[in-house]
Amino acid sequence: MNNSLNNCLAKLLNVIKVLQNNAEKIECPDNSCTKPFLGLNTTVLCFNTRPIMLYRCDNTPVTLNYTSATGTLETTDIFRVESVTNDSVGVLLLEAVTDASGNTTYVNTNTYATINLGCICAIRCLPDTIVNNV
């Protein structure tokens, strides 16, 4: 992989890392009857993570294994950017959980990995979300 592509990917990943670091660590507003204001509050940041998928040059997603809370070996292709250098990215592996309504949330697996950017050709950003304990 050429260095200019690595640098381009590293710059994009670093932007994601900076956005996550600058996100305020507050919970989304309460939407119950006890909500302390009327209407929508558009000034509250409700996200702390921009989940990503990384793709190899053959267009297959990078997948990594982790041990779940129940002790079983699981696989994921969803990551949270934790650190970036010119030739690698440190990621937190996230577990995607889809509820009965089709809503997807992500869970911190407490598993970290370093991925060589020389093996990556594309990044897919997923919708911003809250990941607890990051």
Give the model confidence (pLDDT) of 58-97 as tens digits: 999 999 999 988 899 999 999 999 999 989 999 999 999 9
Q: Give CA angle at 107 (134, 30), nearest 5°.
A: 80
- pTM of this structure: 0.82
Of the two residues 130 and 5, the one the predictor is more confident about is: 130
pLDDT at 115 over 70: yes
Average pLDDT over residues 29-35: 59
Percent of the chain with pLDDT over 70: 79
Report the b/e string of 82-102 with b at 16+ CB within 10 A: eebeeebbbbbbbbeeeeeee
Q: Kindly state the tokens that stand for 79.
A: 């990551």
The pLDDT, as a whole number, for residue 1 is 46
The pLDDT, as a whole number, for residue 24 is 62
pLDDT at 5 over 80: no
